[in-house]
Chain A
Amino acid sequence: MEKLLLIDDEPDILRVLSMSLKADGYDVVSAPNGTEGIVAFEKEKPDIVITDIKMPGMDGIEVLKKIKDLNVDTEVIIITGHGDIENAIEALKHGASDFINKPVRDEALSIALRRAREKFDIRQQLKEYTTDLERKVDEATREVRRRSNFQINLIRSSNDGIVATDKNLKIVIYNPIARQIFGYTPAETINKMQAGDLFPAELAADLQAALRGENNIKNLAWRETTIASKDGDNIPVRFSGTILQESERPVGTVAFFQDLREIKRLEKELLKSERLAAIGQTVAGLAHGIKNILHGLKGGSYLVDIGINKNESDKLKKGWDMIKRNIGRTSNLVMDLLSYSKEREPEFEACLPNQIADDVCTLVHDQARENNVKLVKDFDDSIGEVLMDPNSVHEVLLNLMSNAVDACLFDEDTSKNFRVVLKTIHEKDNIIQFEISDNGLGMDKAVAKKLFTSFFSTKGHRGTGLGLMVTRKLIEEHKGTINVNSKPGKGTTFIVRMPYKLSET
Chain B
Amino acid sequence: MSKKVLVVDDDADVRLFSVTVLEENGYTPLEAEDGESGLKMIKAEKPDLIILDVLMPRQSGVRLYRELKTAKALKDVKVIILSGIAKKTFLRSQKALTEFGGAQIPEPEIYLEKPVEPDELADVIKKVLG
Partner-B contacts on A (CB < 8 A)? 287-289, 291-292, 294-300, 302-303, 306, 315, 318, 322, 325-326, 410, 458-461
Nearest-Cβ distance from residue A455 to partner chain B, whole angstroms? 12
| Nearest-neighbor residue (CB-CB) of B118 within chain A | A302
A296 and B11 contact, CB distance less than 8 A:
yes
A299 lies within 8 A of B84 (CB): no
- Interface contact A294-B115, CB-CB below 8 Å: yes
| Interface residues of B, count at CB 8 A | 21
Binary per-residue interface labels of chain B (15-34) against chain A in the complex, 1 for a CB within 8 Å, 0 otherwise: 01110110010000000000
Report the bound CA distance from A326 to B11 in whole Å: 11
Name the A residues within 8 Å of B20 (CB-CB).
299, 302-303, 306, 315
Q: B27 CB to closest chain A CB, in angstroms? A: 15
User: Can you offer 21 A-B residue contacts whose CB atoms are under 8 A?
Assistant: A287-B84, A291-B113, A291-B114, A292-B114, A295-B116, A296-B13, A296-B14, A296-B17, A297-B115, A299-B13, A299-B20, A302-B20, A306-B24, A322-B13, A322-B17, A326-B13, A458-B57, A459-B57, A460-B11, A460-B56, A461-B11
Residues in B neighbouring A297, C-beta threshold 8 A: 115
Contacts of A306 in B (CB 8 A): 20, 24
Determine which residue in B10, B13, B113 has the highest number of CB atoms from chain A within 10 A of its CB, and name it: B13
- Listed in ascending order, the chain B residues whose CB lies under 8 Å from chain A are 10-11, 13-14, 16-18, 20-21, 24, 55-57, 84-85, 113-118
CB neighbours (8 Å) of B115 from chain A are: 291, 294-295, 297-298
Known: A288-B55, A295-B13, A460-B55. 14 other contacts (CB 8 A): A288-B84, A289-B84, A291-B84, A291-B115, A292-B114, A295-B84, A296-B13, A296-B14, A299-B17, A302-B17, A302-B20, A318-B16, A458-B57, A460-B56
Highest count of chain B CB atoms <10 Å: which of A295, A322, A410: A295
- Contact A295–B57 (Cβ < 8 Å): no
A298 in contact with B11 given A410-B57, A459-B57, A460-B56 (CB within 8 Å): no
Nearest-neighbor residue (CB-CB) of B112 within chain A: A295
| Least distance between B56 CB and chain A CB atoms (Å) | 6
B13 touches A298 (CB 8 A): no
Chain B residues with CB under 8 A of A288:
55, 84-85
Q: Which residue of B lies closest to A441 (CB)?
A: B57
Residues of chain B within 8 A of A318, CB atoms compared? 16
Query: In the complex, A289→B115 CA distance in Å?
Result: 11
Q: Check if B57 sits within 8 Å of A292, measured CB to CB.
A: no
A460's contact among B10, B17, B21, B117, by CB below 8 Å, is which? B10
Q: Which A residue's beta carbon lies closest to that of B14?
A: A295
Question: Least Cβ distance of B21 to chain A in Å?
Answer: 7
Q: Are B16 and A322 in contact (CB under 8 A)?
A: yes
Chain B nearest CB, measured from A488 CB (Å): 13
Q: Which residues of B contact A294 (CB under 8 A)?
A: 114-115
User: A308 to nearest B CB, angstroms?
Assistant: 14
- Chain B residues with CB below 8 A from A322, complex form: 13, 16-17
For residue B129, give the distance in angstroms from its CB to the closest CB of chain A.
20
A306–B16 Cα distance when bound, in Å, is 13
Contact B16 A299 (CB under 8 A): yes
CB-CB under 8 A from B56, the residues of chain A are 460
How many Å lie between the Cα of A294 and that of B11 in the bound state? 13
Cβ of A303 and Cβ of B11 under 8 Å apart? no
Are A298 and B14 interface neighbours, CB within 8 A?
no
